[in-house]
Amino acid sequence: MDSRRRIDLESDPVRGGLAASLETPDRLGFLEAKTIVHRMKTYANVELDAGTKTFASGLLPDLIAALRCSRKGDLVAVISGDPGIGPELEAWCRFTRNSLVDTAIEEGRTRWVLRYGEAPESVGEDRPVGSRLWLYTNFDCNLSCDYCCVRSTPKAPRRALGIERVRRIAIEAAELGVSEIFVTGGEPFLLPNIGEILVVCAAAAPTTVLTNGMLFAGSRLQTLRSLPRERVTLQISLDSPTPERHESHRGKGTWARAWRGIERAREEGFRVRLAATVSTETEAEEFRSFLDAHHVSEENRVIRRIALRGSATQGIALARADLVPEVTITAEGVFWHPVGAEDNDLLVSRDIFPLAESFAAVRRAFDREHEHQRRLATIFNCA
Ligand code: SF4
């Protein structure tokens, strides 16, 4: 059922005065997201056409009215022909602890999507920036899951990072003290040289490769066998205890093949971490029981909610302020977090090298994010 609402706007002149106190934020070190080239239109529960209104001329009461008829977690789209609203809207979101999660230009008008309220659960652990490094080795995949955060499919262009860049990244990452490397895609095992890539990464730091586990046969099985067990962990996706839900996202026949991949990787002596992507806490609980029954330890399991990014049409809408940065490198540049590795709002730099400068850019952006929160907090300093 489409629960989207178009609201009858009411005015609230008392709250309107707040607009004057909003400051225009700096860009936090991110590249300006002029156009989100890859994104499909983000679903919103409420569509608010601002017409000619701005924060100085009546938009704020309309916005408050929109939130009043929303529930926490709902998405509200604001559409306007005036792109100048953007910085004020971003500042207002930060001030009110809502999150601006998407910006797109459609036929000359800008559509901002904000999430009402804070992220419903913690989406990142508090690790030092730069301790983890993510590499997107490619974007093509043998599957086309309906929630894939980077829209991978068998037809997606490969956009390979390439062994030469991986070599240099590994050398510089070791110098910078990176403690864990995560190799992901797309499906990394589609690459003919994935063995070489993983060996290079594993020499720099303990490495986890994220895979759907469905390709361990023939020459790819030989590649798997050649990897150093003590330095390489396999993180294999399995979304539910039985095939139905897993296959509703990933396609028919995928559950049994993933399970076989998990068994094979274990038989080959690898540490295997099972990773489930779920829609609700009930699904998460079900999967926990399944893992308990199979004696999968806490450190060998990951259960996360679907993020409203990439191909997903439902899930948790995440803004950069919701995410603790984990430096992520793709062929296109350096990103704030792996969950948005092709989204302009999470792009930090097009330049990967020197890696120290990429790390510094992410840290500077993170510091500015904190500083901005602190400055906003002082506006309502009560004592
Ligand atoms: S979620 Fe993983 S397995 Fe599914 S399409 Fe994306 S990269 Fe491939």
CA–centroid distance, 64 to ligand 1, in Å, is 38
pLDDT tens-digit readout, 153-166: 999 999 999 999 99
Nearest to 42 by CA among 80, 81, 78: 78
pLDDT at 27: 37
Residue 101 has pLDDT above 90, yes or no: no
The two tokens of residue 105 are 């230009």
pLDDT tens-digit readout, 238-295: 999 999 999 999 999 999 999 999 999 999 999 999 999 999 999 999 999 999 999 9
Contact in structure between 66 and 111 (CB atoms under 8 Å): no
Ligand 1 pocket (Cβ < 6 Å) reads: 141, 143-145, 148, 152, 185-187, 212
**What DSSP designation does 127 have?**
P
Mutate to test the pocket of ligand 1, among 145, 234, 330 (most ligand atoms within 8 A of CB): 145
pTM of the model: 0.79
Q: Give 236's strand partners.
A: 211, 274
CA–centroid distance, 80 to ligand 1, in Å, is 35
Closest ligand 1 atom to the C-alpha of 185?
7
The Cα 275–Cα 280 span in angstroms is 15
What does pLDDT average to over the chain?
A: 86
Residue 225 has pLDDT above 80, yes or no: yes
Residue 342 has pLDDT above 90, yes or no: yes
Crossing angle (nearest 10°) for helices 194-204 and 163-176: 10
Residue 174 has phi, psi (to 5 degrees) of -60, -40
pLDDT at 26: 37
The two tokens of residue 250 are 């990933």
CA–centroid distance, 18 to ligand 1, in Å, is 44
pLDDT tens-digit readout, 287-310: 999 999 999 999 999 999 999 999
Closest ligand 1 atom to the C-alpha of 184?
7
Closest ligand 1 atom to the C-alpha of 141?
8
- Residue 4: count of CB within 10 angstroms of its CB: 13
CA–centroid distance, 303 to ligand 1, in Å, is 16
